[in-house]
Amino acid sequence: MSALHDTFIVFRSELALALRNKVALAIGLIQPFVYLLLFGPLLTQALPAAQNPWLFFVPGLLLQLGLFGTGFAGFNLIPDIRSGFVERLRVAPVSRLAILLGRLLKDSLILGLQAIPLIVVGYLLGMAANPLGVLASLILILITGVGLASLSYVLALGLPNEYLFAPAVNSLAIPLMLLSGILLPVDRGPVWLDWLAHLNPLRYILDATRALFTGALDTTAAIGIAVAVALAIVSVAIGSSLFRRRTA
């Protein structure tokens, strides 16, 4: 199918550039490690002794990596818009959807590459996670990454100017992070906070990731997977409609 081939062409070219940019790859990894090493020891004290803190914390950091890594994906679109690269693709006989999908797949794959060392270090610190569950979680995070990256492109394309992008992403990502229970269990707060957190799709995805890490393939996991897939589908639909409208 031609759109699929187009997607692969864009993906391959974008991935080659991203992999060459070693500094950016490394910087993307630093933040979760900072949390893991500086915040993790505090958490081991705060959580009940019965709970393995790493089974709680590593899934959270995976999602955080996804949230901040792919949430800023649109940032890479800005120089490409400014340099005329996006218009050049629009003038080429390429499927409009492929221009978006090729980039999204690249963002998701990079997220996967950054997630692996995090998981390895989690195991080294004593995280007793089910390996199959971890693999399933990784796939779940990649699907979530596609959705978040797509929303990030929507912001990059839709905001009236590029200076708004970083503050906009930050002001969306931080409440999403706090309300998903990445750092602390959100269900221990007041009722209204818990209620608000239930509106956050990332919460369900995180709960599912934590369940999968313990090896449980239960309703929590199923709901989280369904939410991630729905988020990805809706976000790509919004993203591609905006790409199409901008590129008719």
Partner 1 sequence: MGSAITTSGLGKTFITRTGPVEAVRDLTFEVGKNEVIGLLGPNGAGKTTTMRMLSTLEQPTAGTATIAGHDLRHDPRGVRQSIGLVAQSGGSRPTATVRDELLLQARLHRLSDPMAQAETMMKAFELTELAARPTMTLSGGQRRRLDLAIGLIHAPQVIFLDEPTAALDPPSRNELWGHIRALRARADVTVVLSTHHLDEADALCDRVLILDHGKLIAEDSPARLKQRLGNDVITIDAGLRDDQVATRTLASIADLPHVRDVRRTGNELRIGCENAEGLLTRVVLTLHDAGIDMHGLQVAHPSLDDVFLALTGHTTAQER
Residue ranges binding partner 1 (CB under 8 A):
6, 9, 12-13, 16-17, 20-21, 79-80, 82-85, 87-94, 248
Nearer to partner 1, 109 or 178 (CB): 109
Please, where are the H alpha helices in the chain? 2-20, 22-38, 40-46, 53-71, 77-82, 85-91, 96-124, 131-158, 165-178, 191-197, 201-213, 219-247
d(CA 76, CA 100): 13
Nearer to partner 1, 36 or 94 (CB): 94
The nearest distance, CB 17 to partner 1, in angstroms, is 6
Written as six digits, the tokens of 227 are: 């939410």
How far apart, in Å, are the Cα atoms of 31 and each of 38, 78, 168? 11, 23, 19
Unique residue bearing structure tokens 């939410």: 227
- Distance separating alpha carbons of residues 206 and 168, to the nearest angstrom: 23
At its nearest, how many Å lie between partner 1 and the CB of residue 21? 7
The residue (of 87 and 187) whose beta carbon lies closer to partner 1 is: 87
Beta carbon of residue 85, minimum distance to partner 1 (angstroms, whole number): 5
- Residue nearer to partner 1 on the CB measure, 83 or 170: 83
- State whether the Cα torsion 172-177-178-181 is positive or negative: positive
| Phi, psi for 213 (deg, rounded to 5) | -60, -35
Tell me how far, at minimum, the Cβ of 12 lies from partner 1, in Å.
8
Instruction: State the nearest-atom distance from the C-beta of 169 to partner 1, in Å.
Output: 21
- Please work out, in degrees rounded to the nearest 5, the angle formed at the alpha carbon of residue 144 by the alpha carbons of 237 and 100: 40
Q: What does the alpha-carbon distance between residue 173 and residue 167 come to, in Å, rounded to a whole number?
A: 10
User: Least distance to partner 1 from the beta carbon of 28, Å?
Assistant: 16
Q: Give the tokens for residue 243.
A: 């790409």
Q: 112: Cβ–Cβ under 8 A, 6 or more apart, which residues?
A: 138, 141, 142, 145
Give 23 or 191: the residue with its C-beta nearer to partner 1: 23
Compare residues 79 and 167 and give the one whose CB is closer to partner 1. Answer: 79
Nearer to partner 1, 14 or 207 (CB): 14
- The minimum distance between CB 108 and partner 1, in angstroms, equals 19
